[in-house]
Amino acid sequence: MSELAVLGLKVGFLALLWLFILFTGNVVRTDLFGRKVSAAELSASGTPGAKPQKLSRRALRQLPKTLTVTHGKQAGLQLPLGDGILIGRASDCQLLLDDDYVSTRHARISRTPTGYQVEDLGSTNGTFVNNQRISTPVAFGAEDTLRIGRTLMSAEK
Amino acid sequence: MNDVVGYRKRRGVEAFMLAFSIALGIGGYLLTHLNQDAALPPEWPWALAALFTIGLVLHVVIRWRLPYADPLILPLVMLLNGLGLAMIHRLDLGTSPRMHSAELQLMWTAVAAIACCVVIVFVRDYRVLQRYTYTMFLAGMALLMLPLVPGLGLEKNGARIWIHLGPYSFQPAELAKLVLSIAFASYLVEKREVLALAGGRFLGIELPRPRDLGPILVMWLASLAVLVFQKDLGTSLLFFGLFVMMLYVATEKPSWAILGVLLFGTGAYLGYLFFSHVQVRVSSWLSPFTDYDQNYQVIQGQLGIAWGGALGTGWGLGRPNLIPLAKTDFIAAAVGEELGIAGLTAVMLIYGLIVARGLRASLVARDPFGKLLAAGLAFVFAIQVFAILGGVTRLLPLTGLTTPFMSQGGSSLVANWTMVGLLLVITHQVRSPVPEAPEPEQWLSAETTQVVPVGAAAISGRPSAGTAASPAHPRTPSGEDEDESTVTVPTNPVQQTPTSPDDTTQIATEHADQPGSDRAAEDGHTT
């Protein structure tokens, strides 16, 4: 190949390499601030194929209102579920459990468009819904029992 | 439901950048042949197909499992891997009985991509890794010290960082990087409050309490052991540096970083005083040209980069084969020779971008473990690249680390791709939008009163009777066999007999949990 073609290919390759980096920089720039995700899209991504509006209303009516400790040292304790509850030993938890098997931030009950769900926050001894140890967020309705250590809880309307 | 700010998925951008990066890798390979024989190699479509399949599989797995993963990490890594493959192939061409290490490396790339996919598919939630703090720590330490076991360890090129596994040799420190960054992250999440406590002040810097120095001293001794017995400065720097950086990130106390630098400086100086292999490294760093035979590799690397100049000699037109170990430790010098400072800077920038994306994920992460793990994985790449490229360009004493994704070597490739898989899992989790719980007032006002049929009314009307039942009424743990309506029948018989049109409908409100819920339900009946 001629000297000129070699030079051209060499410079062309380097130019493309730097173009790649410029593209990367542009992606980083446009990625900086994110974008608004609409509520409809969020619930659509949460429950694929479901009609979010209708589902959400029905779910709202059936939502449990309070969490009651049914068994354990604090049996009888009730607190409103509200927007969600953090359960654990830490002082920022809404439900401070007096139980030897509770981690600092043990589990979280949060409200989703389809109802409440329980999520284990990497606890040492696990979170059980209807005696099944959970590893991913699972739905938590009025008929479900939640067990953390030796404490049993259930949601009531 | 409120709108929330989230990240775009950007999988299309990822696909485009991935194709671009593969094209650049293949471009280097084709240019080598064009420059050397003025013809394309006959097997080039196969090479293209192989790289393309690897990229496609990774992309599809990410689309399937991690739709919100960072769109840049995969293309950047793929570009480095492709450039490394092209350079190893180019160095193969320069060997006189021709070697085939590029083909082997391509096979290892496929294995590494599979390892990455396995991580993506099976690690659904990175937080499960937080459970095994001390097991991970012990496993990582064991891996790090494994080459010292007599009969298993293998000394190559002056450093004892290899082990035999049948016919294969393996660098366990590569795997230890991953295991120890998980261990450090989960340990520091637990202990960071304690470690952030201030002890005395010295020269305006808050020092940590002496009793908290245990972990950093353990890591210091471990890294000194690596330096002394495995004779590997790079591995020692990598692990101690990783721990100190993560300690700094977790506690936000500069005193830890200063203490770490002082400790490492002391250790390195003691190593320099007492061990000849460290003295050799330092002399080849400060004055390589005094002993041509001893510092042959460093000198050849320097001459190669100098010969390359700003734009390089072009693919296949330099003589990088003159550098010993050009495929592994000195691949950066080969890149510097054939692509010039322009190409070498681009490669460094790409490493910098990978690190930046990792740190970005760490900034966005909502839980401390995710923050520390993403930062730790980013720091591993940063320190490793800094140590080896610093060594090759004589900024630092030369260390025996691999250049991530580019150097020839299966264990390094698999370990680094596994780390990329974990980083992708983290970025997906931190970038996917989380529904925020709306403000209660908005939520109530958005919910207008509505007319509902009696079947549903019986369910929603239950709280009016629920006050009669004891609030601590124990539920049967297996509650799925009970139907809502059958429970309600005895407690609220009025609603079950639709005698008048009024009873067929009922106003349901969301105030049913208030003490006045009975009244609200009764008001509903009167309308």
- Residues A115-155: tens digit of each pLDDT: 788 888 888 888 888 888 888 888 888 778 888 888 888 88
DSSP annotation of A118: E
A73-89 burial: b if 16+ Cβ within 10 Å, else e: eeeebeeebebebbbbe
What lies within 8 Å, CB to CB, of B204 at 6+ separation is none
CB distance A6–B311 less than 8 Å?
no
Q: Looking at the partner chain, which of B440, B475, B482 has a beta carbon nearest the beta carbon of A83? A: B440
pLDDT, tens digit, for every residue of B276-304?
Answer: 888 888 888 888 888 888 888 889 999 99
Q: Which amino acid is at A93?
A: C
Query: The complex's ipTM?
Result: 0.77
DSSP annotation of B318: S
Sign of CA dihedral A79, A82, A86, A91: negative
**Strand A84-88 relative to strand A95-96: parallel, antiparallel, unpaired?**
parallel
Taking the C-alpha atoms of residue B511 and residue B440, their distance in angstroms, rounded to an integer, is 12
Q: Count how many Cα atoms sit within 13 Å of the Cα of residue B293 in the half-sphere of its side chain.
A: 0
What is the number of other CB atoms lying within 10 angstroms of the CB of residue B458?
Answer: 20
Q: What angle do CA B339, B340, B346 make, to 5 degrees?
A: 75
Q: What number is the average pLDDT over the span B409-417?
A: 91
Q: When comparing pLDDT for B74 and B190, which is higher?
A: B74
CB distance A144–B479 less than 8 Å?
yes
What is the number of other CB atoms lying within 10 angstroms of the CB of residue B299?
Answer: 17
Q: Minimal CA–CA distance to B492: which of B455, B520, B526? A: B455
CB distance B5–A1 less than 8 Å?
no
CB distance A143–B24 less than 8 Å?
no
CB distance B456–A10 less than 8 Å?
no
Which residue in the block uniquely carries the two structure tokens 């025996």?
A: B400
CB distance B312–A42 less than 8 Å?
no
**Which two structure tokens, joined as six digits, stand for B57?**
């599989």
Within 8 A of A35 by CB-CB distance, chain B residues are 5-8
Least confident of A44-53, A107-116, B121-130, B228-237: A44-53
CA distance B365 to chain A (A): 14
| Cα-based distances in Å from B205 to B46, B208, B215, B266, B448 | 60, 10, 20, 20, 59
Torsions phi, psi for A88 (to 5 deg) = 165, -160
> Are B331 and B411 in contact, with CB atoms under 8 Å apart?
no
Q: When comparing pLDDT for B462 and A61, which is higher?
A: A61
Q: Looking at the partner chain, which of B3, B367, B479 has a beta carbon nearest the beta carbon of A143? A: B479
Q: Is residue B4 over pLDDT 70?
A: no
Within 8 A of A42 by CB-CB distance, chain B residues are 1, 4, 433, 435
Within 8 A of A144 by CB-CB distance, chain B residues are 479
Within 8 A of B488 by CB-CB distance, chain A residues are none
Helices (H), B66-132: 73-93, 101-122
CB distance A31–B463 less than 8 Å?
no
Taking the C-alpha atoms of residue B214 and residue B187, their distance in angstroms, rounded to an integer, is 13
pLDDT, tens digit, for every residue of A5-27?
Answer: 889 999 999 999 999 999 999 99
The two most distant CA atoms of chain A are separated, in Å, by 89
Q: What angle do CA B92, B302, B101 make, to 5 degrees?
A: 15
- Mapped to the 3 state alphabet, what secondary structure does B433-455 carry? CCCCCCCHHHHHHHCCCEEECHH
Taking the C-alpha atoms of residue A144 and residue A154, their distance in angstroms, rounded to an integer, is 6
DSSP annotation of B209: P
